[in-house]
Amino acid sequence: RPGPFINQLEGLFMAELALVRIDARMIHGQVVTQWIKRLRCTRIIMVDDQFSADPFMSKVLVMAAPPGVKFDLISTKQAGEQWQKDQFGSVGPIMVIFKNVVTMYNAYNAGFTFPRLQVGGLGGGPGRVNVHGPITLDETDAKQLKEIEDKGCSIFFQVNPDTGSEEWEPIRQKYFPNI
């Protein structure tokens, strides 16, 4: 059993999660200029299985990060492992970005269990419903959001810091009442 000194040290190696967000646009002007500045994030972690396995896209995304902000691109498996190991270390506050609901869902089930999730940008397509401004969901997204909510994650929808937010439950009841 670790003594009190070890317990104090463990707290030093835990980064603060400022925002965990789903945004299909990933790193773009809105995220960089608004959320990062307002939340004073010093690190961005993008979780994406496809891009993390692609060296060229990794380099492109690193170049899109603002100067002075640490950027990491990791897989869903790595997100779970790193969170379980040391909660992403000591560099923070951190903004974590997922491209879509399924990637977030896979990372959550791999062990990256965060307390609050912001859904901020998901475009349209066949079978998708506008649920909050330009944010769309399909039935699979709704089922996965409901499942992680049932595990204790609070979910809200907000496009940018200057727009209002809306909690998941009223959205679910209105657009996906059978889920």
What pLDDT, in 10s, does the model give residues 24-34?
Answer: 987 776 666 78
The predicted model gives 7-27 an average pLDDT of 72
Residue identified by tokens 């059993």 is 1
The dihedrals phi and psi of 162, each to the nearest 5 degrees, come to -95, 0
Q: Is the pLDDT of residue 138 over 60?
A: yes
Helices 168-175 & 139-150, crossing angle to 10 degrees? 140
Give the least confident one: 10-19, 82-91, 139-148: 10-19
pLDDT of residue 15: 74
The pLDDT value recorded for residue 4 is 38
Q: Would the pTM count as exceeding 0.85?
A: yes
What is the pLDDT averaged over residues 138-160? 97
User: In this structure, what are the phi and psi dihedrals at residue 114, rounded to the nearest 5 degrees?
Assistant: -100, 155
Phi, psi of 61 (to 5 degrees): -70, -35
Beta strands 43-47 and 70-74 are: parallel
Cis peptide before 4 (omega within 30 of 0): no
Q: How confident is the model at residue 145 (pLDDT cuts 50, 70, 90)?
A: very high
Residue 81, pLDDT > 90, answer yes
Please report the DSSP string for 65-101 in residue order. SPTT-EEEEE-HHHHHHHHHHHTTTT--SEEEEESSH
Distance CA 32, CA 30 (A): 6
Q: What is the model's pLDDT at position 65?
A: 80
pLDDT tens digits, 96-127: 999 999 999 999 999 999 999 999 989 899 99
